[in-house]
Structure 1
Amino acid sequence: MKHQETAQQIVKSVGGVSNVKSVYHCVTRLRFELKDNNKADQAALKKLDMVMGTNISGEQFQVIIGNDVPKVFDEMVKEYPALKQTAEGNKQVDGKKQNVILKIFETIAGVFAPMLPAITAAGILKGLLALFVTLEWLSAGTDTYRILSAIGDGVFYFLPMLISFSAARKFGSNPYIAVGVGAALMYPDMGALLSSGNPVSFLSIPVTAVSYGSSVIPILLAIWILSYVEKTVDRFIIPSLKLLLVPLISLLVMVPVTLIAIGPLGTFVGDGLSGGINWLLNEGGLISGIVLGGAMSLIVMTGMHYALVPVIISNLATLGFDKFLPLTFISNMGQAGATLGVFFRAKDKKLKSVALSTSFTALMGVTEPAMYGVNMKYKKPFIAAMIGSAAGGGFALAFGAKAYALAGNGGIPGLPGLVGQTFWYAFGGMVIAFVVAAVVTVLLGFHEEADDAEQISGSIAAKPADVTPAAPAPVEVEVEPASATADSTAYAPMTGKAIPLKEVNDPTFGDELMGKGIAFVPTIGELISPVSGTVMNVFKTKHAMVIRNTDGMELLIHVGINTVKLRGQFFEAHVQAGDPIQAGDKLLTFDLAQIAQNYDITTAMVVTNTADYKQILPLKLGEVAFGEPVLKAEL
């Protein structure tokens, strides 16, 4: 049920089905192509329990979920069948032009992402078979080995047919016609004809002999062109004959055109691209490892790694190994090590907890919480992660580390993909990246910041901490568990205008996510205590504090919207955590005129333990002065 509800809320928050051009998922993210990214409510998405955060890469809007992303995606397409169709994802909307390079990356990602389960399973099986033969647990000549080998090799050999189906869905072509094109190229007699060594022609036009088994680029180009051929033919055929003639003409055109022109061209491009990258990895050695290893996190963030997917798959299918994949493992270990360094260096207990947990998830191959939630937030740990990855990458490629299968996971669970003759070099690179990143993070240090209301709510209201991209680091609030023991009344903490909390222009307060309460638009830059009790916490930036009265009512008073960015400028606190207070005591003074120049000065007063009360009622709205009763909490 939670996956279904999450799927519904995500679709609603991205602007509804009508705003979605296409959607697919990778290992950890839903990747949307929206008609208008501005319609997506990122704040609402980040509030969902299963959503770790959001990210925009080029034109692509990403919702980071983690390991449950396939289940959420399945519920999404079940609830909204229209989202299964990706044809609309290739049409420009409202005349908006897209970056061509980014469009290519996104297209490649959209084609290969649905195929990853089959490719990953086959790749891991091939790696395990190689391990079993090396350990002499299985002989290569047995029937068992040959059957298992067919399972692993079959996916790669018939890769053009898998690509045909997936590419057709991406390009808006009939997937079964596309598979027909791939099947014709893979037909045994076609392979025998092209490999015979004799000249081959079609209607007296020479056909270049090319092997299509395990190929990637030729069939990708063929299905892209097929999508235009099919649509063109469809426009000229009368409706009663479409079912018969459109598939027939499309196949009769595309198979010969592919054999004569597209296949040789695609093979040339694919071989050139693979050859160039493999030459760089083979000949560059240490230098290539340092440069690519250090830059890998940036490559992944921009989506450029998807451009290499065809090369990686082609290498695995034809060479039996790939040298680029180990760098993805090493980069992930760099992110994991950096967050572990944050754990050792941080002073705040909550930040330590978040850093340690995200370091573990990065070790398991899910790096988004570590990279976006911690390392990029504090910048220096992200730099340390790149330094560690550069060191590990240099070591690995200096010794020729290889991956022998596409494991589908760049962490510890994906290690079977590295099993082979160079396993220990790849593993050594991972260890180096992890250790160096952790040590450099500890040495460089970072600046811990005070948190704002959205994050502090986790500590006060006993909610789990959220880890979201670019989120401020959580701050521990030492508050002893307590329950309200009697009805309580709070008095106006400032002079000005009292307004309903729902009118605050901040969803954290306006939607009462932290609890019920009241808000004020002050006319005097002074905050006095609305109750008698104890100061539980004063934010380092002095713009907010938590107090508890003698009957257990907990109040968060937050002066202004986004005033945490002032870092304490224009604020002066007159109390500190642990101080006893009486109603009317001065808590805080602030320069109202200076702050109001750039910030909304509306001040929220929220009962953070709202759940302890039957109801919380504003007693007065409109003009108020210090000390007037404004809020009552009833058990």
Structure 2
Amino acid sequence: MNHRKTAEEILQLVGGESNVQSVIHCMTRLRFNLYDNSKADRKSLEQVDGVLGSNISGSQFQLIIGNEVPKVYKEIIANSSLSEAKSGEGESKQKKNVISSIFDVISGVFTPILPAIAGAGMIKGITALLLTMGVLQESSQTYQILTVIGDGAFYFLPILLAISAARKFGSNPYVAAAIGAAILHPTLTAMFAEGGGISFVGLPVTIATYSSTVIPILLAIWIASYVEKWVDRITHASLKLIVVPTVTLLVVVPVTLITVGPLGAIIGNYLSSGMNFMFENAGIVATILLAGTFSLIIITGMHYAFTPVVINSIAVNGFDYIIPAMFLANFGQAGAAFAVALKSKNKKFKSLSFTTALTAVMGVTEPAMYGVNMKLKKPFVAALIGAAIGGVLYGIADVKAYIVAGIVGIPGIPVLIGPEIVFALLGLLLAFVAAAAVTWIMGFEDVLEATEENTIEKASEDTAEETESEKASEVISSPLTGEVRPLAEVSDPTFAQEIMGKGAAIFPTKGEVVSPVDGEVVTLFATKHAIGLKSASGAEVLIHVGVDTVKLNGEHFTAHIASGEQVKKGQKLVSFDMEAIQAAGFDLITPVIITNTAEYEDISSLADGPVGAGQALLDLAAPAATSKEAS
């Protein structure tokens, strides 16, 4: 990478130096506070050599660079009138986008619980299919147990949401779970079922149903996060363990039952009623528009906003119109990719297109959408058209989903089982065929085959690179005591999407980072929230304590080592005040990333759930050639 050239291109594409209010960097990213984020050309920026991706967090514009970020930053400062002093100045003066903040919260809350919802939804769908086929009877105990398994996650959804929301809002997830459990307690449910006047210390409690609901618990935990932080701030350290959760529960649960819960239920009911009104009175138009634009909605990240609406709609009405539109969008993408596979002359790209078309009909559309259709542009447009054409039939037939979909593809079709199932299947076929036909008719600029000479040359280069980058197998220990979680649970897409490399995430239960390897401290960032290490065997390890904790400017962190220092496995690197960081509103989930992932055959997790510092965390498998030589 030519760091100077990269820096110059970045400055130009963020809207010029005049658009930069300040710029700083952390371990992996350039963090710009721009006067106008809309002037930044994200598409072109992501094509710049050395730029791995971009992200907007709040009002801050971020470019993901990786390990080379200090050098690129240095060139930006050296070749502009910006100074390091200016770069350290405060936050952007742009107003925070409220809508973006709401979507960020919804995404952050629902993403971690999606596996539970997906699994339960699939079981409900399979159970419905077996019942329809006559394999099971409603009176059978097998059917009843399967129903319990499928319904459990949805009935107790407020508890799952409470835990996830607490992590997002920076409060205690177990106190939050207790709040969710309280509003679902059988005694309270029985009191509501009996009807009549219910009161708490003389204040009326409104009767409401909280099982399977979304909005009431989100509002409750949002309030709980403020109550908990306020009580924590005024309580002596020796009493916090008892006083903080006690006061939080005594305040939040009654407030939820008396005001917040009923208000949330009303909002949820209005959302469901409004959605139903739209589809019932403008069914064809609404379905066409939603199906035809849903892929665009996915690109913006706004699709997360539909999750609570879908869940609430099925809980309140027993059906939903959004899920069918999602099915059509996916099958449209699959059809377009399939046509590309048939028409492309590039053997490698043809194979890729066939594969992604198959994964799309199975419910995973990102490879087809980003890897094929958007790359060629016209097939993506064709996919939107195909989905909209399928929406015509769905609108006429009034196709609905009766269960929350775990997978929006062939395995998830049982969620559409109902009076309109035949039309549901025909609509999916129509969307697929229409998208393929439009792709074929519109055509596209094919991906060129590499010449034999270039292919041989590239293969030689790749072989040379592989030889240079061979690494020995190695086990990386956990640098923290806590709970191991998948990287996908990290709210920052840089880590969640493995842009920086593979690894694992740990939610710490002890505020101490120890070295996971024998090696060298390559980088200790000035704010002490992130450490870069290189093991004696060549593994490059990034430990990033918390999300966006760079904004703390080192507060609540204490470093026990310095850059360039040799360390032993288990040696204390950094300590941090967990309570203070969480009280400041930051998520402590800590990604542990192998930044030179490409130099290994495979990287797999060796731990799940609770883990102690020093225990095996990641297995780094050497490339095959190295493994053979070693054996």
TM-score, normalised via structure 1 length: 0.58
In structure 2, which of residues 458, 461, 467 is the aligned counterpart of residue 461 of structure 1?
A: 458
In structure 2, which of residues 108, 111, 116 is the aligned counterpart of residue 110 of structure 1?
A: 108
1:57–1:303 contact (8 Å) kept in structure 2? no
Please show how residues 508-587 of structure 1 align to structure 2 within 5 Å.
none
- Which secondary structure does the structure 1 equivalent of 2:137 belong to? coil
In structure 2, which of residues 189, 214, 222 is the aligned counterpart of residue 224 of structure 1?
A: 222
For 1:395 and 1:463, locate their aligned partners in 2 and report how far apart those are by CA, in whole Å: 53
In structure 2, which of residues 127, 137, 142 is the aligned counterpart of residue 144 of structure 1?
A: 142
1:289–1:395 contact (8 Å) kept in structure 2? no
The residue aligned with 1:289 is 287
C-alpha deviation, 1:320, in angstroms: 3.5
C-alpha deviation, 1:112, in angstroms: 1.2
User: CA 1:156 to 1:93, structure 2 compared with 1: closer, same or farther past 3 Å?
Assistant: farther
Counterpart residue type for residue 253 of structure 2: V
User: CA 1:167 to 1:446, structure 2 compared with 1: closer, same or farther past 3 Å?
Assistant: same
For 2:339 and 2:184, locate their aligned partners in 1 and report how far apart those are by CA, in whole Å: 52
For 1:353 and 1:19, locate their aligned partners in 2 and report how far apart those are by CA, in whole Å: 37
For 2:460 and 2:408, locate their aligned partners in 1 and report how far apart those are by CA, in whole Å: 31
Counterpart residue type for residue 388 of structure 2: A
C-alpha deviation, 1:372, in angstroms: 1.8
The residue aligned with 2:245 is 247
Counterpart residue type for residue 326 of structure 2: T
- Which secondary structure does the structure 2 equivalent of 1:139 belong to? coil
User: CA 1:213 to 1:354, structure 2 compared with 1: closer, same or farther past 3 Å?
Assistant: closer
C-alpha deviation, 1:338, in angstroms: 1.1
User: CA 1:391 to 1:138, structure 2 compared with 1: closer, same or farther past 3 Å?
Assistant: same
C-alpha deviation, 1:15, in angstroms: 5.8
Larger Rg: 1 or 2?
Answer: 1
- Which secondary structure does the structure 2 equivalent of 1:195 belong to? helix
1:15–1:41 contact (8 Å) kept in structure 2? no
Worse overlay, 340-349 or 191-200: 340-349
The residue aligned with 2:442 is 444
Counterpart residue type for residue 140 of structure 1: E
1:398 to 2:393 alignment: no
1:238 to 2:236 alignment: yes
**1:339-393 deviations in Å (ceiling 9; x for gaps):** 2222333344444333333222222222222212222222221111111000112
Counterpart residue type for residue 358 of structure 1: T
Structure 2, unpaired ranges of 5+: 1-24, 32-41, 65-89, 463-631
C-alpha deviation, 1:40, in angstroms: 9.6
Please show how residues 67-146 of structure 1 align to structure 2 within 5 Å.
98-146=96-144
C-alpha deviation, 1:96, in angstroms: 6.8
Structure 1, unpaired ranges of 5+: 1-13, 21-35, 47-53, 64-91, 466-635
C-alpha deviation, 1:164, in angstroms: 0.8
Counterpart residue type for residue 379 of structure 1: K
**1:459-488 deviations in Å (ceiling 9; x for gaps):** 7535999xxxxxxxxxxxxxxxxxxxxxxx
For 1:421 and 1:227, locate their aligned partners in 2 and report how far apart those are by CA, in whole Å: 45
2:323–2:405 contact (8 Å) kept in structure 1? no
C-alpha deviation, 1:154, in angstroms: 2.0
2:122–2:407 contact (8 Å) kept in structure 1? no
C-alpha deviation, 1:306, in angstroms: 0.9
Counterpart residue type for residue 421 of structure 1: P
2:295–2:329 contact (8 Å) kept in structure 1? yes
C-alpha deviation, 1:39, in angstroms: 12
For 1:209 and 1:323, locate their aligned partners in 2 and report how far apart those are by CA, in whole Å: 28
For 1:186 and 1:146, locate their aligned partners in 2 and report how far apart those are by CA, in whole Å: 21
In structure 2, which of residues 300, 306, 310 is the aligned counterpart of residue 312 of structure 1?
A: 310
C-alpha deviation, 1:437, in angstroms: 0.7
Please show how residues 593-608 of structure 1 align to structure 2 within 5 Å.
none
For 1:391 and 1:383, locate their aligned partners in 2 and report how far apart those are by CA, in whole Å: 13
User: CA 1:146 to 1:374, structure 2 compared with 1: closer, same or farther past 3 Å?
Assistant: closer
The residue aligned with 1:301 is 299
User: CA 1:42 to 1:313, structure 2 compared with 1: closer, same or farther past 3 Å?
Assistant: farther
Identity of aligned residues (%): 47
The residue aligned with 1:343 is 341
For 1:340 and 1:270, locate their aligned partners in 2 and report how far apart those are by CA, in whole Å: 39
The residue aligned with 1:362 is 360
For 1:57 and 1:394, locate their aligned partners in 2 and report how far apart those are by CA, in whole Å: 36
User: CA 1:347 to 1:136, structure 2 compared with 1: closer, same or farther past 3 Å?
Assistant: closer
**1:65-118 deviations in Å (ceiling 9; x for gaps):** xxxxxxxxxxxxxxxxxxxxxxxxxxx967775422122112111111111122
**1:285-335 deviations in Å (ceiling 9; x for gaps):** 222121111111111111121111011112333444322112111111111
User: CA 1:130 to 1:409, structure 2 compared with 1: closer, same or farther past 3 Å?
Assistant: closer
- Which secondary structure does the structure 2 equivalent of 1:461 belong to? helix
For 1:150 and 1:162, locate their aligned partners in 2 and report how far apart those are by CA, in whole Å: 16
Counterpart residue type for residue 107 of structure 2: A
In structure 2, which of residues 184, 204, 207 is the aligned counterpart of residue 206 of structure 1?
A: 204
The residue aligned with 1:262 is 260
C-alpha deviation, 1:239, in angstroms: 0.7
Counterpart residue type for residue 295 of structure 1: T
In structure 1, which of residues 425, 431, 441 is the aligned counterpart of residue 429 of structure 2?
A: 431
For 2:63 and 2:430, locate their aligned partners in 1 and report how far apart those are by CA, in whole Å: 31
TM-score, normalised via structure 2 length: 0.58
| Cα RMSD, aligned residues only | 3.5
The residue aligned with 1:5 is none
